[in-house]
A = this chain, B = another copy of it.
Amino acid sequence: MSVAHTRVTPQAGGPCGDDDCGIREVLDRIGDKWTVLVLVELAKGVRRFRELHRAIPGISQRMLTLTTRRLCRDGLVERTAYPTIPPQVEYELTAMGRSLAESVQRLAGWSREHKDAMREARARWDADHPGEA
């Protein structure tokens, strides 16, 4: 994801000008390591910070904070903080966020359908190309 994405600066009307620029735009948002996982978890319902943290094994507090913040900034997630003690913060998908989560899950569907075929293709390729790391 973001993948160090130093914007591709697609000049309008250029070769890739019309149909792929949109793609890079989404990928700059969901292409990173954690965003989709948060998205999918929130698609199941409202979640507190801690709950997200536990639901997504391996994510650090820092990355969860950064990821949720970016999602909020883009209007995909709504953050509600209750000034209780101890503090309590709830995250919830917005309508747009739910819509994105759906699209993303459709892509996940593709992945599940073709996972085996890809695994086989890779095995075949690796067999034919012995000199690979």
Contacts and interface: CB of A to CB of B under 8 A. Distances in A.
B120 A75 contact: yes
A111 B16 CA distance: 16
A115 B26 CA distance: 9
Given A15-B55, A57-B8, A20 B32 contact: no
A124 B73 CA distance: 8
Nearest to A30: B27
A1 B114 contact: no
A15 B38 CA distance: 12
Given A16-B56, A75-B121, A122-B75, A104 B107 contact: yes
Contacts of A56: 15-16
Contacts of A1: 1-3, 5, 27, 31-32
Interface of A: 1-5, 8-11, 14-16, 19-20, 22-27, 30-33, 36-37, 40-41, 54-58, 72-76, 96, 99-100, 103-112, 114-115, 117-118, 120-122, 124-126
